[in-house]
Chains A and B, each alone.
Chain A
Amino acid sequence: MPRRTSPKRPTASVTATVCFADPKRILMVQVIWDGLFVGSFYALIALGYSMVYGIIKLLNFAHGDIYMLGAFIGFAALTSLGGIPATLSIGALLVVMLLSMVLTGGAGVLIERFAYRPLRGAPRLAVLITAVGVSFSLEYGIAAIAGPNPRAFPIRLEGNVFNIIGARISLPQIILILIAGVLMILLNFYVQKTSTGRAMRSISLDRNASLLMGINVNQVISRTFFIGSALAGAAGVMAGAYYGKIDFLMGFIIGLKAFTAAVIGGIGNIKGAMLGGLVLGFVEAFGSEWFGGQWRDVFAFAVLILFLTLRPTGILGERVTERV
């Protein structure tokens, strides 16, 4: 039987074509780029993990679900806006992303206020289990409201594909990495240069001493949750727009990956979280390149175990002195 002619596939606005001159070398560039791209998502989410851990020593397992919440808020906002012309999609996306950041930030503050603050004096394990409970509440709360079915995101980022030394790099990828970079630079400025940032750093060093110095500890912790959750919310909207699919369990695996990234970088350390995200992205990309795609997660979590055994404080973490 002759090969049937396939229906013509709309090519979107993809223009460039790939020419493989030296496949092996070129593939490496692609691996590095893919690692960088995924790593910047991990970094954005790892930041919230790390900031919260730094300030109240809590592994906030609900953090991945804040990312999911951000994606759903973006979905709801874009759906209610109706049809958006393709030329405005980047602008609309930015507006929706800001809205989603404010709302997820607010959700983070509420979660801290009602789920974690009442347990501040309780054993660490109790708070940890509460965090798991909050995670389930968010997941199945969204499933009850929005339904369990996956949704296709109303905006799909599409754009030119550039061919840079053999790697296919698309405009949306560049835009998303830029957004992530800008958010991280702003955060770094906020933590290093403002008085709230200084208060955050001092609370993470010694909460009681900060209290004695007249720092409003509760307010600063609330702000930390706001910022961390807002970053995760931004990542959620970006992931929805880039990958095109959201569902109520989307935060689970990426939450674990972000936790891994935070540990690799040194949990509690902001620059460590950014670095850890990128390192995890590279580790995954190179791991799957060397061992095959099905080994990617094995490789990523093996690195987590290695770090926990050999260097639990991570790449940038400082040695923890036990205070009695």
Chain B
Amino acid sequence: MKITKRSTMLLGVATAVLLATAGCSGGLLGGGGDGGDGGGEESGPIKLALVVPISGSSAPTGAYMENGAQLAVDEINDDGGILDGRMLELDVEDEACDAQQSVAGANKAVSNGAVVSVGGYCSGATLPEIPIFEKANIPMIIPAANSQDIVNQGAKNVFMINGTGKQQSTAALTFMKDQGFKTVALVDDNTSYSKDINTETAKQIEEDGSVTVALSTSVTPGESDYSAVVRDIMGANPELVYWTGYYQEGGLIINQLMNAGYTGKIMVADGSVDASLSEIAGAGAEGVYATMTQTPDTLEGAEDWIANYKEAFGSDPGPYSTQSYDAVRLAAQAIEDAGSTDGDAIIKALEAIDGFEMFSGPLKFTPEHTLSSGGFVILVVKDGAFVLEDDLS
């Protein structure tokens, strides 16, 4: 009797462990490296760290980013690699949009011998990675995360090839003025990225003076019922609601606003630009605006690239596929320019880059290591999909 009990317990523990590891197998599989064979060595593959969300609520975007990066790696390797024939290799680690996970992922990538980091989606998860890569003197080319907090760190190894929160807020304000919105409600989800756009937009609106902030509030992410914020918005009665969080809560809030009889307009920030937004929000998502950097399907002349992507992965590219693709190409270019995998040399090479062609246009970093122009455009939901509304030029 005693033994049976114990064995049942052991079985339970074993199952739990199995289930737990199954949950993060993406991250484990992606590791693939065999410990300390460093990219700092003179031969063998050059490893690029890609810390992106593979599990958790932002996992779909992580897959888009991984595919985009892999496409660039394959193209460069087919052309004979870099530094006289050395191959590129992605070291994919899970960020899970969570600070603890991303720190673990970044540490693993460093010990696997990565020489450049080309990942970073959720700003709250990317921020704690910065000191880890900085200490290891590994340059970070961040394709997606764009909180002003990352810029404010002032780390010399950080380069951002997505527009910043500030630039996104400027785009939002420009559009509000173009459309003649007088009152706006700003709603964020209390994450670093989202709060950043909210406060930055509020600041710019105040400086500009032609739009009024009727309400500025936050919600707790991960819940289902947002009736409290919906009531607040209905009470403030703004002409536009600007939601700066991610698409899950965004979809729920849009749906609940529509059910509450809201008749004004809604705009979302780039974290909510995902096909699932209109699935969750239902019919209410039609006509919702978004501030977003160019995606492959809104870019002109990207058809060939989309076709290559589809051939390689059997699905359409999504948000941040192009930026991740560019991040890998940029990393390869910088290593080639530097002539070595030494961190300082690569950072110098990145700073010196001028006119490197990317989807967002020719690249030259500002002294803060950000893009000189954010490249934000306005999208609108039409028949359940985001299409270009206004390129703000």
When A7-B287, A9-B287 are in contact, do A149 and B59 touch as well, CB less than 8 Å?
yes
Tally chain A residues at the interface, Cβ within 8 Å.
59
Contact (Cβ within 8 A) A168 B261 = yes
A315 beta carbon closer than 8 Å to chain B: no
Which residue from A1, A133, A243 sits with its C-beta under 8 Å from B225?
Answer: A243
Q: How many A-B residue pairs have CB under 8 A?
A: 147
Please tell me if A250 contacts chain B, counting CB pairs below 8 Å: yes
Interfacial chain B residues near A41, Cβ < 8 Å: 225
| Interchain CB contact under 8 A, B228 and A284 | yes
Q: State which of A140, A168, A243, A285 has its C-beta within 8 Å of the C-beta of B224.
A: A243
Q: A9-B287, A293-B232 are in contact. Are A118 and B5 (CB under 8 A)?
A: yes
Determine whether the beta carbon of A288 is less than 8 Å from that of B276: no
In the complex, how many angstroms separate the beta carbon of A168 from the nearest chain B beta carbon? 6
Given the known interface contacts A118-B5, A247-B57, the answer about A156 and B282 at a Cβ–Cβ threshold of 8 Å is: yes
Contacts of B190 in A (CB 8 A): 294
Q: Are B219 and A294 in contact (CB under 8 A)?
A: yes
Closest B residue, CB atoms, query A111: B12
A115, A253, A288: which contacts B228 (Cβ < 8 A)? A288
Is A114 touching B60 in the complex (CB atoms < 8 A)?
no
B227 adjacent to A7 (CB under 8 Å): no
Interface centre among A10, A41, A245 (most CB of B within 10 A): A245
Does any Cβ of B come within 8 Å of A65's Cβ?
A: no
| Cα distance, A250 to B12, chains bound together (Å) | 24
In the assembled complex, B302 has its CB within 8 A of some CB on chain A: no
B235 contacts the other chain (Cβ, under 8 Å)? Answer: yes
Question: Hey, which chain B residues are within 8 Å of A150, CB to CB?
Answer: 57, 248, 276, 280
- Tell me which of A11-19, A182-190, A303-311 binds B: A11-19
B198 shortest CB reach to chain A, Å: 11
A137 to B55, CA, bound (A): 15
A10: B residues at CB distance < 8 A: 283, 286
B6-33 vs A, CB cutoff 8 Å, 1 = contact: the mask equals 1011011001100110111100000000
The reply on A80 being an interface residue by CB < 8 A is no
B339 proximal to A (CB < 8 A): no
User: Is A254 within 8 A of B23, CB to CB?
Assistant: no
Nearest chain A residue, comparing its CB with the CB of B16: A137
Set of chain B residues within 8 Å of A38, measured between Cβ atoms:
225, 227
**Interface majority SS on B: helix, strand, loop or mixed?**
helix
- Tell me whether B217 is interfacial, beta carbon within 8 Å: yes
Instruction: Check A148–B56 contact: CB distance below 8 A.
Output: yes
Q: Which residues of A contact B25 (CB under 8 A)?
A: 144
Given contacts A6-B287, A244-B280, A293-B219, contact A14 B231 (CB under 8 A): no
Choose among B55, B56, B179, B255 the residue that contacts A4 (Cβ–Cβ < 8 A).
Answer: B179
Q: Chain B: how many interface residues by the 8 Å CB criterion?
A: 57
Q: Which residues of A contact B287 (CB under 8 A)?
A: 6-7, 9
Among residues of B, the one whose C-beta sits closest to the C-beta of A144 is B22
A1 touches B178 (CB 8 A): yes
> Is there an interface contact between B248 and A9, defined as CB atoms closer than 8 Å?
no
- Residue of B19, B20, B280 near A152 (CB, 8 A) is B280
Q: Which residues of B contact A23 (CB under 8 A)?
A: 235
In the complex, the answer to whether B220 meets A297 with C-beta atoms within 8 Å is yes
Q: Please tell me if B109 contacts chain A, counting CB pairs below 8 Å.
A: no
B residues near A9, Cβ cutoff 8 Å: 258, 283-284, 286-287
A1 to B179, CA, bound (A): 7
Closest chain A CB from B244 CB (angstroms) = 14
Does B385 reach chain A (CB closer than 8 Å)?
no
Interface residues of A in 1-56 (CB under 8 A from B): 1, 3-4, 6-7, 9-10, 12, 14, 17-18, 23, 27, 30-31, 34, 37-38, 41
Given contacts A148-B56, A289-B228, 14 further A-B contacts (CB under 8 A): A7-B287, A9-B283, A9-B286, A18-B261, A34-B231, A38-B225, A136-B20, A137-B20, A150-B276, A152-B280, A168-B260, A244-B251, A244-B280, A245-B251
Q: Which 6 A-B pairs have the closest CB atoms?
A: A140-B23, A288-B228, A152-B279, A294-B218, A293-B229, A293-B228
The contact sample of 7 A-B pairs, CB cut-off 8 A, is A4-B179, A17-B261, A27-B231, A168-B259, A243-B255, A245-B280, A288-B232
